[in-house]
Structure 1
Amino acid sequence: METKCTMLSALTVYIILSVITYSQACDNGWFGRKCEYKCRCNANRCDRTGKCLEGNSCQPGWFGPFCQYEDLVIKGQLKLIQESESVRDLLLDGDDNTCHNELRSLNILWTSEYVFTWMRIITDKPAAEIINKFTLRFQSALTSKNNKVFSCPKEKRVVVGSKTMDIFCDNNIAIGGISLAGEGIQTLCSVYVSGGRNLALNQYTIQSSTLNPVKSKSSNAVDGNTDNEYDHNSCTHTNNTEKVTLPFWRVHFKTAILANRFVLYNRNIHKERLMGFQIKTSYNKNLRTYKDKSLMPLDKYTVLEPRQASPIRILEVKATTDSDGIYLSLCEVEVYGERVCPSKRFGLDCDRKCHCPSLCFANNGVCTSGCPVGYQGEGCLEACDDYKWGKDCLHHCSTQCNRGICDKVTGHCLHGCQSGYRLPLCTQECDNGWWGENCSRSCHVNCQNLSCHIQTGQCLDGCVPGFKPPMCHEVCDVGTWGKDCTNLCDASCLNQTCHSQTGQCKTGCKAGFKPPTCNESCDPGTWGESCIHSCSPNCKGLSCDGSTGHCNLGCQKGYKLPFCIEECDKGFWGENCSFLCNPNCKENSCDIETGECNKGCKRGFLAPQCIKACEHGTWGDHCMWTCPSCYNSSCDSETGQCLQGCISGFKTVFCAQECDAGWWGPNCAQKCNSRCREKLCSSQTGECKLGCQKGYLPPHCSKACEPGQWGGNCLQLCKSTCKNWSCNKETGECDLGCVPGYKMPDCTHVCDNGTWGDNCSSQCASKCIGRLCDKTTGLCNQECITLRGRKPVCTKACDIGKWGSNCTKSCSSNCKDKLCSSRTGKCLLGCQPGFKPPYCREECDPGTWGQECAKFCNINCKNFSCNRLTGHCTKGCNTGYNRPYCSDEDKQI
């Protein structure tokens, strides 16, 4: 507590002094007690103390406390493994909140040499967790003969903020680059390498002489303006009045500093005057001297002092080159390093006191050994944020602390624990048997196993018998008992009241249950209060309801419910008289036990139960008669009337009469076909008994003859000389006329001489000798008459058996007498049996045979197939006929 009060007092004094000190107004872009610090915030927007105004950050190339430290990263060349422009942009955008996880290594190389002192890393993870997950290596300076990579033996790492860390190294040697690697590289948000801060700004200066007190005063070299034109009043200038000593310019630092880099800005003209300059630094009696050895004048000179380990208070620059006189002109002098602060002091002016047991870093005030437990930030002056505690404020207060707040050193919850957790850290749950805030309350004695919920106190394992959950301090409600009161008092208890722990009925039992516990039913065969009544002997199993005496398994056969004392009423029988006597019993009378019709059955049913109707095809008393010619042998079991009509050939309701002549079929409902001879047919099948009239096919004479057939039962074939073998189905006359060469009416005679063609309707040509021509084709039979002016034609007929041009073709061997037309080759006398006219080369079509294939195979031949020469059925006959012709004459008898 004493340490906390001391810290609070120091912080209060610092705030008061700061208000007083910074009350002096500075020019825009400057701040500090004597306005000696240049604002490095974006747009030069910082307050009087140097803090960037809200929404602003450091200018590119600057970082750290008050943006006063030059960032060397932006001066270097970044090399990334798995390099991408997006990652490069994130590292250089100056925004510490833009992070990535793509890097595996980061290298920063410079074209100039620098002295490494410290660097800052900002990550997206807690700095205390990630601080040792980086590997830092240095690359040797550009002037070194050997390109070496080495580490810092005196490296020091400290946590500056929740996600900010600094790495210090006092090697004090010039380097050309650094490399970062390790697991932490994938958490980078920003990387800064300190080039120090410019300690020369607005410090006290003098020079050996002044050329123009207005334009070239000595303070122009520490005003932060690097403009190198003399006429802009931004440079110093001596007047060359020295006679003995060389002209000099000198800056006095108000406190000692550690400097490692000096930067001199030359004029834009007369640059050679500065060549060979000297720099001297001093602190007490310690002197150091640097001599310029450049061969050409430069716009800007950078001098490293890596060995500068001791402090300095004065820096002096002397000119040594005489061109047109020895002059010294400097447009700006920058001295980069760090102010030497007294022990336990830090800040721009070493005006802040760090809260450290020993030393702290001058730039950020962080203790060299880390902040004390419970503190963080610059100077370790900030207590841990709310809800955090411990070394580097790495730990979070327990979520079970009341208000979430704990002691920042010990982590103890300052306002106690939330219900269910134990002091002091509130990370452990209450011991068994305790609950509530700080586990200060004990579980109720009626909790089973003394176990309850650590926050609510509700019994986890339920209550002991007789008490109600969840808290178990109330007895069971009336009508309930046992563990957690989950059991209902037995319904047999009078008024449904029982002992809350044992469940025993308090006021006795209801009817049907035995005392004393009333949870057992009456013994079999007894019922009523105290089970004093006996069940009826007609109860099944002598079992009845213990409360009412009703037979609960029903009655023996022949007795009525509920008590099974009365016999069944007339028309009922069986157990509980639940069955009706069969309506087929005579007078609705049956035995009360068996249900048998004790007075017999009605017509159409079988004794003794009269339930089963007569078997199919029977009827009458005792089903003793069979149904007559009924369809499906189905008739009424009482009357014998056919229910589905008669089978084919019978009529009337009993189907006992055959059909009248001229009628047939079921119930004699169909007439015989009018084309049956004498209109007589089978009464059962309808087939014509005497055959068909001419032109129709048996057996029903309903189908006309097939093409090429005619006559009774279609047994006759049309003549082959009928056109298309078509003839009248009754008379056999050719109804489409004759084939060419034959004449009407019967197409049996060839055309008369001088005529030919269909029905002999065409005349032979007049040029035919004797007007004789082929009766089929009309071609001249003999030589032709010679035409005037032309060669004679048809001067000689072909020899018998020859035809065609020059009579070179032979008549078919199947032509009768081998005679054919000398012009067409058609057989003149027809074909041998089995071949088709007119050329007699093709055999008869299936189903035809004989001379010129004019005959049809008998319709009774199987598949209508027969020998083309004889007409014999080659594949046998249809059922009922015999070979060879399968005709009616060959019909089986």
Structure 2
Amino acid sequence: MASWWSLCVFTLLLHVTDGCRKEYYGVDCENQCDVNCKDRLCDSTSGICNDCINGKYGANCQSTCIADQCIGGCNRNTGHCSLCTQGYYGPNCQQSCTVTNCIGNCDKNTGQCSSCTRGYYGINCEDRCTVNNCNDNCDRNTGHCYSCIHSFYGVNCENRCTVTNCNDNCDRNTGHCYSCIRGYYGLNCEEQCTVTKCNDNCDRNTGHCYSCKRGYHGTNCEEQCTVSNCIDNCDRNTGHCYSCIRGYYGTNCQQSCTVTNCNDNCDRNTGHCYSCIRGYHGNNCEEQCTVINCNDNCDRKTGHCYSCKGGYYGTNCEETCPVTNCNDNCDRKTGHCYSCKKGYYGTNCEEQCTVSNCNDNCDKNTGHCYSCIRGYYGANCEEQCTVTNCNDNCDRKTGHCYSCVRGYYGTNCGEKCTVINCHDNCDRKTGHCDSCIQGYYGTNCQQSCTVANCVGNCKRTTGQCSICTQGYYGTNCQQSCTVTNCIGNCNKNTGQCCRCIQGYRGTNCDQICNDGDCNKDTDYYTGGCQGCTDSRCDPTCERRPDWYSVKTSKATNKQSEKMDQTTGNN
């Protein structure tokens, strides 16, 4: 019964898992794909070709393509050509293209030309272009020119351009010029520009200048600029200067700047200075700065200093800073110090810091220390840290330690760690070990690990091993692995083998594989053969069709053994 079930399951898995070999189809893969199938590939169930060989079409590729001028074979469903060779058209490319003036092949469906060679037009390029002055080919439908060669215009470029002063060709439809050469204007560039002071050509329609040469203005640049102090040309319409050279101002730059203390040119409209040279102020920089302690120039309007030199303050820097212990200049308005030199504090840094244990300067307003040197604490660092086992300085406010040196714990590190098997320091608050050294466990690492076959230390709380050395198993690795055919160590909890060496099987690898026709390889999980010789692919190595894969046999082996075990139990 078990053998019959194994055979059924094996056959079912075989079809579901892998199907038929290449070139075969059917329930039992007993039929061969048709020779007209491309690469002999067909559907494994119906036998319909995946694709046809060249020259065949239809569902089963039984029909022959009737055309011999196809490029790349005919259509799989209709038998018609997809592309024709040069010179043919039609569904099966059986008709010859009759036109001779085509560029490229004729249309696949109509036989008409796609485009004509130069000099021809019409549906089949049968008409010759009759015009001689085309710049390119004539229009495919009308035979008219697309564009004319130079000096011709009209529908067929039959008219010659009659104007001689064109800068380019004349207009295709009217014969008028697009633009004139320099010195001419008008519809056909027949008028000569009469002005000689134009900076460029005259206007095409009016003959007026676009811009004038330097020194001239007016509609036709007929007026001469009368001003001589312009930094650039005068205005085209008014003749006024755009800007003046240094030292002059006014509408025509006719007035001289009268001030001598300007840092730059005077204002174009008023003649006033834009800015003064150092030491002067006022509208025309006529006033001399009277203050001598300015760090920079005085204010243009008021004459007051912008900022004072070191040691001076006040509106005009006329006051001397009264303090000598300022770290920088005193305040411009009050004369008070911004900051004090080291060792001083107060509004004017007049007070001396009285504390000697400051790590830095004292506070400018209170005289208290910012921070204390090592070993001291308090508002003025007047208190001495009384604990000796601090790992760093004591707390500024309380005097307590931040952290303890190794071997001590407690608020002031006054308690000594009593455990000697700590891997690191004991806990600051409880005195318990953070972790144990190798071979010890427990809250204070007071208990010795009793097992000798551990890999690494035992567990901190239980003392049990996590991993055993090779050849041992059990809670404390006290039991020896008794099996000799294992690959790697035995199971930590059961002592059973995880994998067997080649040729053995079973929970403890104590059963020899009954090879027979089987290969020597063993499935580590089922204990069965992993492959058979002579294409025999089930656990009993009975013969099966040679086109089934070894991969299927592995799946069948596992399923068959399960079925055998189930049947045997029943």
TM range (shorter): 0.3 to 0.5
Higher RCO (CA 8 Å, separation ≥ 6 residues): 2
Relative to total residues, which structure has the larger strand share, 1 or 2?
1
Bigger radius of gyration: 1
Relative to total residues, which structure has the larger helix share, 1 or 2?
1
Question: TM-score, normalized by length of structure 1?
Answer: 0.27
